[in-house]
């Protein structure tokens, strides 16, 4: 059972894939407090499951006990594997100390994770006056390298957005080349692939750079990650969830309907029929947005056409920007093999993620977004204060690595490690 360290862990999508593949997590390092609670709750879930005490987890999700009461049922050694730190030069000694104690002189086989992508993403650069040049997040890979130097794992997995390939440093050199040079100085050979989550059991078009490093001077070490044939359409994600309107639903678990398909089981989203789901809660919308949603969904369902913002009736166009982001209102097409990429902006509004059922007439719930990201239905997304937060759930889900993509990477790498 290879041990791994997860850096910039977020809500744990990457980690969940490695856990499914049989790895063991030594620690998760994450700066966002809400995401850290999500990681702690997931660690608690696994411990309770192993010890046949999932009834306690159920009580917590239904609000019958508080988060503090819930955590008291789990050993502190389990919860303390989640380290709530921003990774900086100043915090490295404290983080190293915590990880050293958790490792207890045992070797670490693997480091996984990718720094926040805002500084590398094309969208982030387009919104920045400086094109993100000089942003400190550009150089978090240097801190990532410090972990490689200290723990010398056999391999590491570095995930990030495609914009990383074209990002440049202040001197005009390619950021990605400088990054790989540093990893080489740390003693690692590196190789990378551009992977689309839609090729690995995820009903979503989500392309990412997956860079893998192997210790020593190595060639042809990148594992073969077989593509998974897709037999499904996006409606599989919605098929067994209760129909709700805008502003309806709840964060508390509700039962699902009978499901006769295969996808939700094969992807690991669903474990058993009518399994309850949390966070199936739709945000409210003003009437103007609901009218736009009806137009957009009708156009897609009737003729398979997308409606640009400039094509909407004039009384519905409230934005001055008519030159860019013209697809800002977009239905998640249930009859296609994959949805558009789920990103953290879903926490701000749902216009880019409209439900395909015109009768429900709303944007996606956090649970629907989580299913598109292939999070299992028993995964719970926390807030800072222990009170359910739809907004924070959206943010964590949008920032995550799809679980099924991570699992296929982990399985392929496991064969190499063996």
Q: Which of the two residues, 263 and 322, has the higher pLDDT score?
A: 263
Q: Is the pLDDT of residue 128 over 50?
A: no
Contact residues for 138 (Cβ-Cβ < 8 A; gap 6+): 119, 120, 132, 167, 169, 175
pLDDT in the model for residue 136: 64
Tell me what pLDDT residue 217 has. 94
Calculate mean pLDDT across residues 272-282.
Answer: 98
pLDDT, residue 75, reads 98
Question: How high is the pLDDT of residue 320?
Answer: 80
- As a whole number of angstroms, the distance between CA 409 and CA 18 comes to 8
Please give the pLDDT value at position 325. 83
- Residue pair 405/17 in contact by the 8 Å Cβ criterion: yes
pTM of the model: 0.94
- At residue 130, does pLDDT exceed 90? no
- pLDDT value of residue 34: 98
The mean pLDDT of 386-405, rounded to a whole number, is: 97
Mean pLDDT, rounded, for 187-196: 97
Task: Sketch the domain layout of the chain as residue ranges.
Answer: 3-224+402-417
Q: Tell me what percent of the residues of the chain surpass a pLDDT of 70.
A: 94
**Structural fold of domain 3-224+402-417:** Rossmann fold (3.40.50)
Q: Report pLDDT digits (tens) over 142-168.
A: 999 999 999 999 999 999 999 999 888
pLDDT value at residue 126: 46
pLDDT digits (tens, 9 = 90+) for 295-333: 999 999 999 999 999 999 999 998 887 778 888 999 999
Residue 131 predicted with pLDDT over 50: no
Beta strands in 69-116 (DSSP E): 82-84, 110-112
Q: Are 369 and 346 in contact (CB under 8 A)?
A: yes
pLDDT of 338-379, one tens digit each? 999 999 999 999 999 999 999 999 999 999 999 999 999 999
Write down the mean pLDDT value for the chain: 93
pLDDT digits (tens, 9 = 90+) for 29-54: 999 999 999 999 999 999 999 999 99
For 410-414, the CB contacts below 8 A with 24+ separation are 410/17, 410/18, 410/20, 410/21, 410/23, 411/21, 412/223, 412/224, 412/225, 412/226, 413/110, 413/155, 413/157, 413/212, 413/223, 414/2, 414/21, 414/22, 414/23
pLDDT in tens, 100-119: 999 999 999 999 998 886 66
125 confidence band (pLDDT: 50, 70, 90): very low
Instruction: Please report which residue ranges of 221-271 form alpha helices under DSSP H.
Output: 235-238, 263-266
Highest mean pLDDT among 124-133, 260-269, 409-418: 260-269
The per-residue pLDDT for range 229-247, each reduced to its tens digit, is: 999 999 999 999 999 999 9
Q: What's the confidence (pLDDT) of residue 135?
A: 56
- SS3 assignment, position 15: helix
Question: What pLDDT, on a 0 to 100 scale, did the predictor assign at position 129?
Answer: 52
Residue 172 confidence (pLDDT) above 90: no
Stronger pLDDT, 134 or 73, i.e. the higher one: 73
Residues identified as active-site:
117
pLDDT at 124 over 80: no
């Amino acid at each position: 059972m290879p041990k791994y360290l997860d850096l910039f862990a977020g809500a744990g999508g990457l980690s969940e894939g490695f856990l499914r593949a049989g790895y063991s997590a030594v620690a998760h390092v994450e700066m966002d407090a809400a995401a850290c609670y999500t990681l702690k709750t997931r660690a608690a879930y696994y411990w309770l499951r192993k010890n046949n005490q999932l009834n306690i987890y159920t009580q917590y999700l239904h609000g019958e006990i508080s988060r503090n009461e819930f955590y008291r049922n789990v050993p502190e050694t389990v919860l303390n594997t989640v380290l709530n730190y921003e990774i900086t030069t100043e915090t490295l000694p404290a983080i190293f100390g915590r990880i050293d104690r958790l490792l207890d002189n045992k070797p670490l086989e693997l480091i996984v994770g990718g720094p926040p992508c805002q500084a590398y993403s094309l969208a982030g650069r387009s919104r920045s006056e400086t094109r993100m040049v000089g942003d400190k997040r550009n150089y978090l890979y240097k801190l990532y390298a410090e972990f490689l130097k200290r723990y010398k794992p056999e391999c590491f997995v570095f995930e990030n957005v495609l914009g990383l390939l074209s990002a440049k440093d202040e001197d005009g050199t390619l950021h990605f080349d400088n990054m790989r040079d540093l990893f080489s100085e740390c003693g690692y050979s590196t190789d990378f692939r551009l992977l689309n989550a839609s090729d690995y059991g995820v009903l979503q078009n989500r392309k990412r750079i997956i860079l893998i490093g192997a210790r020593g001077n190595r060639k042809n070490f990148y594992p073969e990650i077989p593509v998974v044939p897709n037999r499904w359409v996006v409606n599989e994600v919605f098929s067994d969830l209760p129909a709700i309107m805008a502003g309806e639903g709840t964060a508390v678990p509700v039962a699902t309907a009978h499901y006769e398909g295969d996808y939700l089981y094969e992807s690991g989203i669903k474990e058993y029929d009518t399994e309850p789901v949390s966070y199936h809660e739709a945000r409210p919308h003003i009437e103007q947005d609901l009218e736009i949603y009806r137009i957009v969904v009708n156009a897609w369902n009737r003729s398979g056409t997308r409606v640009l913002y400039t094509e909407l009736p004039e009384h519905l166009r409230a934005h001055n920007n008519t030159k860019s982001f013209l697809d800002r209102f977009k239905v998640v097409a249930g009859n296609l093999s994959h949805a558009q990429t789920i990103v953290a902006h879903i926490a701000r509004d749902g216009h880019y993620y409209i439900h395909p059922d015109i009768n429900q007439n709303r944007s996606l719930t956090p649970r629907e977004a989580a299913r598109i990201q292939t999070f299992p239905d028993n995964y719970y997304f926390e807030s800072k204060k222990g009170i359910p937060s739809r907004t924070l759930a959206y943010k964590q889900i949008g920032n995550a690595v799809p679980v099924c993509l991570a699992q296929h990477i982990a399985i392929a790498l496991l064969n190499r490690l063996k």
